[in-house]
Amino acid sequence: MPRKPKCRRVGFLPSVTYYKPAGIPLRFLEEVVLFLEEVEAIRLKDSEGMEQDKCAEKMHISRQTFQRVLLSARRKIADALLNGKAMRIGGGNFEIDLCKLESKNKLDKGEENENCYCI
């Protein structure tokens, strides 16, 4: 029996969770689901420009697992863009890094972060 997959740590929750081609009613579109850990992998590697080993460390997973998550995300995004599919962001196997989320909010307000939790 395979072991339960480890939760991947996510430090970003997108405010927009649905994308679709303009001008096509949703009922006519296929949907691709992009998991939150896949969005985090794309954010860290492609948006932040971090090295894969550092990305994996931030997400508390191995570099090989990070590579698989990143490849899955890129394939789903390519499928949605090239084949005119809707893309929904949500779900997956993750834990939220409240320290990272609180740090961003407190830095925006000029406050210091005292305690960090992960749920």
- pLDDT for position 117: 43
- pLDDT for position 101: 59
pLDDT bin (cut points 50, 70, 90) of residue 69 is very high
Domain boundaries, the chain: 8-20+29-109
Q: Which residues of 33-57 are buried (b: 16+ CB within 10 A; e: fewer)?
A: ebbbbbbbbbbbbeeeeeeeeebbb
Q: Which CATH class is domain 8-20+29-109?
A: mainly alpha
Mean pLDDT of the chain: 84
- 118 pLDDT higher than 80: no
- pLDDT for position 4: 73
Q: Which residue has the higher pLDDT, 8 or 82?
A: 82
- pLDDT for position 3: 73
pLDDT digits (tens, 9 = 90+) for 72-111: 999 999 999 999 999 999 998 888 877 765 555 444 444 4
- pLDDT for position 94: 84
